[in-house]
Amino acid sequence: MNNHLFNYTLQQADNCLILGQRLGEWCGHGPILEQDIAMTNIALDLIGQSRMLYQYAAEVQGDGKTEDDLAYLRDAWDFKNVLLVEQPNGDFAKTILRQFLFDSFNCYFYEALKDSNDEKLAAIAAKSHKETLYHLKWSADWVLRLGDGTEESHERIQSALNELWPYSAEIIIASDADHDAKTNGYGVNLEEIQSRRDSKIEEVLEEATLTAPEDTFSHSGGKSGTHTEHLGYILADLQFLQRAYPGNEW
CATH code of the domain covering residue 212: 1.20.1260.10
Q: What is the pLDDT of residues 125-158, one digit of tens each?
A: 999 999 999 999 999 999 999 999 999 999 999 9
Question: Is 249 a domain residue?
Answer: no
Instruction: Kindly state the percentage of the chain with pLDDT values over 70.
Output: 100
Q: What is the mean pLDDT of residues 110-133?
A: 98
Instruction: Kindly state the percentage of the chain with pLDDT values over 90.
Output: 91
Q: What is the mean pLDDT of residues 84-108?
A: 98
Q: What is the mean pLDDT of residues 75-83?
A: 97
Q: What is the mean pLDDT of residues 4-22?
A: 98
Interior angle at CA 165, CA 159 and CA 167, nearest 5: 130
Question: Is 45 a domain residue?
Answer: yes
Q: How many other C-beta atoms lie within 10 A of the C-beta of residue 211?
A: 12
Alpha carbon distance 16, 39 (integer Å): 14
Q: Is the pLDDT of residue 250 over 70?
A: no
Burial 166-182 (b: 16+ CB within 10 A, else e): bbbbbbbebbebbebbb
Question: 216: pLDDT confidence band, cut at 50, 70 and 90?
Answer: confident
Question: Is 110 a domain residue?
Answer: yes
Q: What is the mean pLDDT of residues 116-120?
A: 98
What are the C-alpha distances in Å from 56 to residues 75, 132, 154?
Answer: 20, 20, 42
Q: What is the pLDDT of residues 156-209, one digit of tens each?
A: 999 999 999 999 999 999 999 999 999 999 999 999 999 999 999 999 999 999
pLDDT for position 192: 96
Residues of the domain holding 137: 3-244
Question: Is 10 a domain residue?
Answer: yes
Question: Is 217 a domain residue?
Answer: yes
- Better-scored residue on pLDDT, 234 or 248: 234
pLDDT for position 1: 74
Number of domains in the chain: 1
Question: Is 167 a domain residue?
Answer: yes
Q: What is the pLDDT of residues 48-75, one digit of tens each?
A: 999 999 999 999 999 889 999 999 999 9
Alpha carbon distance 128, 190 (integer Å): 18
Alpha carbon distance 180, 154 (integer Å): 41
Question: Is 250 a domain residue?
Answer: no
Q: Find, among 78, 76, 56, 52, the residue nearest to 65 by Cα.
A: 56
Question: Is 29 a domain residue?
Answer: yes
